[in-house]
Structure formats: structure tokens, C-alpha cells
Amino acid sequence: MLVLIMVALILLLSGSTFLQSALNPHEHPGWFILFWLICAWLTLTAMLLAIFDLLVVRLEARKSQRELREAFDRSPSSQ
């Protein structure tokens, strides 16, 4: 995920600086659209991976909490 964000940032900075003439929307509309679609795709992919990671962490936390509660209920000191 970090790699995706870094690549998107590098593309964003390069598209705004030294690639600006090559990505002129009036002269090269195809390159302009393709370049910014790639940037948007990388950003969206990183966001979806972050959401997926959040859901996995929450699921693991619930599982651990359930296992801990079951272990506590089975312990002899709880009686």
C-alpha cells in the first residue's frame, strides 16, 4: 500500500512539474487522460487496500476478544 501511495505521489509531482508540457490536455488529450486515470487508479487501489486492512484488523480483534472471553469463562478462578 505504501508503494502505491508513493508511486501515485511521484506521478502527481512529475505530472505537475516536468511532464506538464507532455501532458498538455490541448495538445495530447489521450496522454493527459491516461496519465491522470493511472494516478486515480493507484490512489483508489491504495484506499481500497486500506479499507480491507481495517476490516481484517477488526475481524482479528473480535476473534481474539472472543477467544479471551472463552478462556476466561473456562478458567477455574471464575467459579
- The answer to whether residue 78 sits within a structural domain is no
- The answer to whether residue 77 sits within a structural domain is no
* Whole-angstrom distance, CA of residue 4 vs CA of residue 41: 10
Q: Which three cell numbers stand for residue 72?
A: 476466561
How many folded domains does the chain comprise?
1
- Structural domain containing residue 33: 2-71
pLDDT at position 51? 96
pLDDT at 15 over 90: no
pLDDT at 77 over 70: no
Q: Is the dihedral of CA 63, 64, 68, 71 positive or negative?
A: positive
pLDDT at position 38? 92
At 16, the pLDDT band (50, 70, 90 cuts) reads confident
